[in-house]
Structure 1
Amino acid sequence: MNKRLTRISKYLTFILRHEPQSIGLTLDADGFASVDELVTKANASGKSITVEQVHQVVAGHETPLFALSDDGQRIQAL
């Protein structure tokens, strides 16, 4: 994984595990958030992230840190 994706991975870990409210994100009862909402709110808070990059981060770990819903529209930290 390149440096940019590593930084995004660390950011996603922080947001999804510790501080979703810091960008105004709300997780559902199962800990999932909308990927589109995550990207929109992250970008509004000054980060530059795309949906494609989120999917690359999820796929890029040998030991999964994140899971996508079956339709790929929601993400959660494992």
Structure 2
Amino acid sequence: MNKRLTKISKYLTFILRHHPEAIGMQLDPEGWLNIDELIKNANLHGKSITHAQLHEVVASNGENRYALSDDGLRIRVT
């Protein structure tokens, strides 16, 4: 994983595990966030993330840190 993707991975972990409110979001009761809203809010808060980058981080994470919902619309940490 390149440096940019590593930074995105750390940021996603920060948001999903610790502080979704930092970008004006709240996890649902099962710990999921909507990917479109996550990307939109992250970009509004100065973190440039694309759908492609998010999916690359999820696919390349050897620790299986992230899970995508069956419909591919939501993300959470495992």
TM-score, normalisation: structure 1: 0.97
- Equivalent residue, structure 2, for 1:5: 5
Q: Aligned runs of 1:43-54 on 2, under 5 Å? A: 43-54=43-54
- Distance, in Å, in 1 between the alignment partners of 2:61 and 2:22 is 25
Gaps of 5+ in 2: none
RMSD: 0.6
Identity score, percent: 59
2:24 alignment partner AA: G
- Equivalent residue, structure 1, for 2:73: 73
Count, aligned residues: 78
Name segments (4+ residues, structure 1) moved above 2 Å: none
Post-superposition Cα deviations, 1:14-40, rounded to whole Å, max 9, x if no partner, equal 000000001101111100000000000
Q: Aligned runs of 1:1-78 on 2, under 5 Å? A: 1-78=1-78
What secondary structure sits across from 2:4 in the alignment?
A: helix
What secondary structure sits across from 1:76 in the alignment?
A: strand
- Distance, in Å, in 2 between the alignment partners of 1:63 and 1:19 is 21
